[in-house]
Amino acid sequence: MTSFSARRVRADIPLLSRVVNGRTITFLDSGASSLQPHAVINAMSQYYELRHANVHRGVYQTANEATEAYEGSRGAIARFINAPGGAEEVVFTKNTTESFNLLAKSWGASNLKSGDVVLVSEMEHHANIVPWFQLRETTGIEVRFIPVTDDFRLDLSNLDELLRGVKLVSVTSMSNVLGTKNPVKALAEAAHAVGALIAVDAAQSIAHEPTDVTDLDIDFMAFSGHKMLGPTGIGVLWTRQRVLDTMPPFLGGGGMIADVRVDGFTPAKGVARFEAGTPPIAESVGLFAAVRYLEGLGMDNVAAHDHELTADALTRLESTFDGRVRVVGPSNTINRGGVISLDVQGVHPHDVAQVLDQFGVCVRPGHHCAKPLMKRFNLSATARASFGPYSMAKDTDVLIEALESALKMFG
């Protein structure tokens, strides 16, 4: 049984007590990077103070401890996402972007040929677009886009047609701009029905809801540690053991080999083949602590809290501003997470964010690495507020106060 109190989570995050421009910080940029609780920071600093050594090499005490910590983190991730094959399916990368590059350059390059189709969507982050365009240049694959409807959902009315010739569906589980949560399970079923595999960008959803790759019945999942209360510099690519075994190595170097001779090399078996060089060890320790922390909160509780905050914010933004602040994303909370993109009438997102900063409010202005989506809605940028498990309704209070000030200044 887990218990959840956003107030308690807040007390665990040291950065949230910072004062900025004379106001206690109102952090609404968890979609870009979440904040770390003491548990994560302490775990990493204790690791460096007492246990640091390189992994998989030394036989001395601390080297054993470091190896144990690194591999233990892999196990915790496998549990967190319910990986059917356990830790041996979890590849550590630098971040979600690297995970998609690994997917495209290893699995993609060895499994896709000219004319094969990778089906992405118009609401993807550039991390799930550009690697496929790069692969297109070398192999001649086709990159096809699932359109987005006027009410900010995937347009699946023509899915059968879209799936023609598709070998991989690669979609986000939750848009980093719109907050839209996509029907991953249904897409997985549709993809498998035509013999395609499915990859999921879970960078946004991972800290907003429970994740179960077995239940979703997907084939690949990518996410970043720093968006789930963990540190920067570590990410994950999960894939099924049987798929992983067919994938050639990614980066070459130490740690990824079984043998190196003067006439060539033999790659290591398993996940090691994708983890060349000294891996992010301290980061894995931090990620382990973050996973334990989130498990302690209970992801169902986190999802319920996120839902409640989002519903409250959408209602109040609508009633306070009466259209002068438009939400670029679903106006209801059905299949929608706590990422709220704003289009403020007559005020450019950069100016919005600048005025908000004076109130200690942290939001993200820009195109959010989703330019095809921006173009779809004829926008150059939005100002985006996004929640974490430590967010509270009082954050929305300050956001609204600051937005009123921005409207007044530029109105």
Partner 1 sequence: MSNLEDLYREIILDHYRSPRNRGELATPPAHKVEGFNPLCGDEVTVFLDVQDGVLKDIKMTGHGCSISQSSSSLMSGAVKGKPLEQVQATIDMFKELMTVHESSLSKDSERDDEVDLRKLGELAALQGVVKFPVRIKCAVLAWNTLRQGLEEIASSI
Catalytic residues: 369
Q: Identify the residue among 113, 242, 269, 350 touching partner 1 (CB under 8 A).
A: 350
With CA atoms as reference, report the closest residue to 203 among 11, 31, 78: 31
Tokens of 182: 């996509």
Distance of closest approach, residue 327 Cβ to partner 1, in angstroms: 19
Instruction: Identify which of residues 144 and 348 has a Cβ nearer to partner 1 in the complex.
Output: 348
Q: Which residue has the tokens 């289009």?
A: 343
Q: Identify the residue among 351, 372, 392, 404 touching partner 1 (CB under 8 A).
A: 351
Residue 107 and residue 340: Cα distance in Å, rounded? Answer: 34
- In this structure, what are the phi and psi dihedrals at residue 317, rounded to the nearest 5 degrees? -65, -40
380 binds partner 1 (CB under 8 A): yes
145 binds partner 1 (CB under 8 A): no
- Stated as kind and residue range, the H or E segment containing 43 is helix 38-46
381 binds partner 1 (CB under 8 A): yes
The piece of 34-42, 143-151, 234-242, 362-370 that touches partner 1 (CB under 8 A) is 362-370
The piece of 70-78, 195-203, 276-284, 348-356 that touches partner 1 (CB under 8 A) is 348-356
**Residue ranges with strand state E in 317-357:** 325-327, 339-344
* Bridge partner list, 343: 326
Which residues, 6 or more positions from 216, have their beta carbon under 8 angstroms from its beta carbon? Answer: 184, 185, 188, 200
334 binds partner 1 (CB under 8 A): no
Residue 291 and residue 279: Cα distance in Å, rounded? Answer: 19
Instruction: Identify which of residues 19 and 262 has a Cβ nearer to partner 1 in the complex.
Output: 19
Instruction: Identify which of residues 298 and 372 has a Cβ nearer to partner 1 in the complex.
Output: 372
Q: Which residue has the tokens 């690697």?
A: 131
230 binds partner 1 (CB under 8 A): no
The piece of 56-64, 78-86, 201-209, 360-368 that touches partner 1 (CB under 8 A) is 360-368
Which residue type does 170 have? Answer: S
279 binds partner 1 (CB under 8 A): no
Instruction: Give helix then strand counts, H and E, for the chain.
Output: 15, 17
Q: Identify the residue among 367, 377, 392, 401 touching partner 1 (CB under 8 A).
A: 367
Distance of closest approach, residue 369 Cβ to partner 1, in angstroms: 10
343 binds partner 1 (CB under 8 A): no
- Cβ distance 69 to 285 under 8 Å? yes
Distance of closest approach, residue 357 Cβ to partner 1, in angstroms: 7
With CA atoms as reference, report the closest residue to 104 among 144, 139, 78: 139
24 binds partner 1 (CB under 8 A): no
Q: Identify the residue among 11, 20, 39, 243 touching partner 1 (CB under 8 A).
A: 20
With CA atoms as reference, report the closest residue to 145 among 127, 129, 126: 129
Q: Identify the residue among 366, 377, 401, 404 touching partner 1 (CB under 8 A).
A: 366
Using CA atoms, how far residue 18 sits from 11, 13, 15, 22, 364, in Å, is 12, 10, 6, 10, 18
The piece of 5-13, 81-89, 347-355, 396-404 that touches partner 1 (CB under 8 A) is 347-355
Pairing of strands 364-366, 235-239: unpaired
- Cβ distance 243 to 197 under 8 Å? yes
The piece of 51-59, 85-93, 155-163, 374-382 that touches partner 1 (CB under 8 A) is 374-382
Q: Identify the residue among 197, 282, 355, 400 touching partner 1 (CB under 8 A).
A: 355
Tokens of 216: 């979703």
Instruction: Identify which of residues 54 and 354 has a Cβ nearer to partner 1 in the complex.
Output: 354
Q: Identify the residue among 4, 133, 377, 410 touching partner 1 (CB under 8 A).
A: 410
Q: Which residues bind partner 1 (CB under 8 A)?
A: 20-21, 348-351, 354-355, 357-358, 365-367, 371, 374, 380-381, 409-410
